[in-house]
Amino acid sequence: MRYYFILIVALFLSGISSNLDAQLSIINLESQPIWGPTGYDYVENYYLPDIDAYYNVPQHRYYYYNNGGWRNESTLPSRFNNYDFYNSYKVVVYDKVPWQNHKFYKDKYYSYRDRYDQQLIRDSKDEKYFVIKNHPQHQKWLKEQNHDNGNHNGWYKENESQGNHKDDKQKDKDNR
């Protein structure tokens, strides 16, 4: 009986551990381009309906159809030079290889062509996006983090009234 109890506890703890690992690995804000839409802590791919192509966020690569097959490059070919990333719709796709299901995505999101109603990361005032190196507020955010000295001001700033209250209690204890 004792053996079964230990086994159950071990399985439970390993389940919690793997769940925590999965939760920790689902944020990739730092990898997202500033032309991406806000609202997503994790993005695998964007479908770009205006040019019928994909952008893979973790790999920083574009996938597009050319000469009878899907190609991937770190930049788009010259035929897309006029594409404006800041004034086009991006569909977040959680499929690891969406180009293999391209007909599905094209049929589903074709109507998103010529839409311009997404808030971009570049234009967001939400501090969580300041971690992205090309965000306009990134340098200011970095300075705040460097001046933090481990006190967690800036992005991790706690409620000042709670912090001061805790400091006052500690001072009272020290003065006794």
Amino acid 166: pLDDT = 42
Amino acid 13: pLDDT = 62
Whether the pLDDT of residue 6 is over 80: the answer is no
Handedness of CA 167, 159, 129, 142 (dihedral sign): negative
Whether the pLDDT of residue 39 is over 80: the answer is yes
What confidence tier does 87 reach under pLDDT thresholds 50, 70, 90? very high
Q: What's this model's pTM, rounded to 2 decimal places?
A: 0.68
**Letter for the amino acid at 93?**
V
Indicate the average pLDDT of the chain. Answer: 81
* Residue with the larger pLDDT of the pair 159 and 74: 74
Amino acid 76: pLDDT = 97
CA distance 144 to 163: 18
CB-based burial, 80-105: b 16+ in 10 Å, e otherwise: eeeeebeebbbbbbeeeebbeebeeb
